[in-house]
Amino acid sequence: MSFSSKIKDELLNKQNIEPCCSLAEMYGLLLFSKAFSKREMFLNTENESIALKYQQVTERLSGQKIDVIKSPSGKCKVSVDNERDRVRILEAFGLSGQERSRRRINWSNISNDCCFGSFLRGVFLACGTLNDPEKSYHLELSVPYSLKNDLIRILEEVDLKPKEIKRNNNFLLYFKDSEEILTLLTVMGANDAVLEYMGVKIYKDIRNNVNRRTNFESANFDRTVNAAIRQQQAIEKLKKEGKFNTLPTELKEIAVLRLENPDMSLKQIGEALNPPLSRSGVNHRLQKIIDLAE
């Protein structure tokens, strides 16, 4: 299973607490599918679980049975073929099908701050892909021109600024910065993916640093890396949960040092503290941070 498929499976299992968020997620999924209008409404996907999700949503909103058509190659198409059913679905999102403008976001379906993550979750399921971080940091959303600027505004609401490029009849909004990708995954609620992505990122950062340092003992590499990954994941988790600033000063000081110097040994961290601390003392404090994060 690809990294992108794994994340989509996690997002498909994410439950919305508020009805407004559930509506926002459904809206994002349908609006950013292949077609969403009175004339035609359908989704094309290679992910059968997403096809079943689209089927579930359209059946719920239309009150009618909707079929999933699977090709011999494994691609799925889910289409709402009856015009009355399409209009009924549009009406669920405050639309009539008579709108003259091209496809645009109806902001009333993203009514509260809590809805942004749910809406973006639906968008990503409909048109998003994410590369395996072992290979490259790259997340993209393939969107029609009429929706591009509206989606950029949504992303800016959560402090994200995508790059863009035209490809065929669509535009790609994409991120290559790992921190921005982590932010978007966090906003969408992909918590397991965030931790896995951070682990890969930390490992790559340390490996790259180690490759530039010839005096690093290769025999201790895996042990040092695994320990550093656990420590940094714990610190990042405390930050994401808003608990970092509640740490005692001695733990916060050592946490900052670890984040800024991922390839430092425990001895080097201890020597950088004022007053200096023994290797075992550093290890004890970092273990406390891990315990607090778990």
Predicted pLDDT of residue 101: 58
Predicted pLDDT of residue 274: 87
Predicted pLDDT of residue 220: 61
Predicted pLDDT of residue 103: 82
Tell me how many helices (H) and strands (E) the chain has. Answer: 12, 8
Helices 115-127, 48-62: axis angle to 10 degrees equals 120
In 46-161, alpha helices (H): 48-62, 83-92, 115-127, 145-157
Of 194, 198, 185, 210, give the one whose Cα is nearest residue 261. 210
Predicted pLDDT of residue 100: 63
- Domains and their CATH numbers in the chain: 3-187 (3.10.28.10), 218-293 (no CATH)
Structure-block tokens of residue 113 = 């701050």
Of 214, 232, 234, 233, give the one whose Cα is nearest residue 269. 232
Predicted pLDDT of residue 37: 92
96 three-class SS: coil
pLDDT per residue of the chain (294 residues) written in tens, 0 to 9: 788 999 999 999 999 889 999 999 999 999 999 999 999 999 999 999 999 999 999 999 999 999 999 999 989 999 999 999 999 999 999 998 776 656 889 999 998 999 999 999 999 999 999 999 999 999 999 999 999 999 999 999 999 999 999 988 889 999 999 999 999 999 999 999 999 999 998 888 887 776 666 454 555 666 777 888 888 898 888 888 888 888 998 999 998 988 888 878 888 988 988 889 998 888 899 999 999 988
What residue has token string 């091209």? 102
**CB-based contacts of 211: which residues, under 8 Å, 6+ apart?**
none
Of 70, 171, 78, 181, give the one whose Cα is nearest residue 127. 171
Is the entire prediction scored with pTM above 0.85? no
Alpha carbons within 13 A on the beta-carbon side of 187: 25
Predicted pLDDT of residue 33: 96
Give CA–CA dist 292/294, Å, rounded. 6
Predicted pLDDT of residue 210: 67
